Copies of this chain bind each other. A is one copy, B any other.
Amino acid sequence: MERLPKRQRHQQLSKLLDENPFLTDRELTRQLKVSIQTIRLDRLELAIPELRERLKLMAERSYDSVRSLPLHEVIGDILDLQLDKSGISLFEISDEHVFSRTGIARGHHVFAQANSLAVAVINDEIALTASADIRFIRPARLGEKCIAKAYVRASGEQKGKAKIEVFTYVGEEMVFQGNFIIYRSAGESKT
């Protein structure tokens, strides 16, 4: 026993099931050359559920992800909001948001976070994006936490058009910058 095989096997097992979650324990024994009990102990230690549970989880995920499409309502979690002044939101880049080959976020998700925040920060019944001028400064990657900061430059309470600037950062680095013009109903009675 080289003191390693177990951890190595755990890694291999995770990898195998990651590649093909449809494997039974018995099929795993063939690949890993250990007894079925060992496989089961390994799954136990790694907190990997049995085949049927895995299938059920996948089925459930796909079942309710039919409704919760990638782009929902507000993209990102609002961390701070000062109506008609500024706002901050957090959005973590996960698998669904990236090009699978490169792990780089598709631009519209980063845009969606900024756009959602720009709309949210406007204190009005109805707020719609009229136009925007945006720049993707560097790609956002899988796993990165994007912090978007929105500043209202002209609230346009009379004119019906607000001007908002949004900067999105990953850590210290700016990944996105946008200038939004938002239509507002000017009735100014927040939800």
Contacts and interface: CB of A to CB of B under 8 A. Distances in A.
B107 A119 contact: yes
Contacts of A191: 102
Copies in the complex: 2
Contacts of A61: 62
Interface string A90-115: 00000011011110101111011001
B58 A62 contact: yes
Interface of A: 21-22, 52, 54-56, 58-63, 65, 67-73, 75, 96-97, 99-102, 104, 106-109, 111-112, 115-116, 119, 126, 128-136, 139, 191
A70 B115 CA distance: 15
B59 A73 contact: no
Contacts of A126: 99, 101-102, 104
Nearest to A74: B106
Contacts of A130: 135-136
Given A21-B63, A109-B112, A111-B115, 13 more contacts: A21-B59, A52-B52, A52-B55, A55-B55, A58-B58, A71-B75, A71-B96, A101-B126, A107-B115, A107-B128, A108-B111, A131-B136, A134-B134
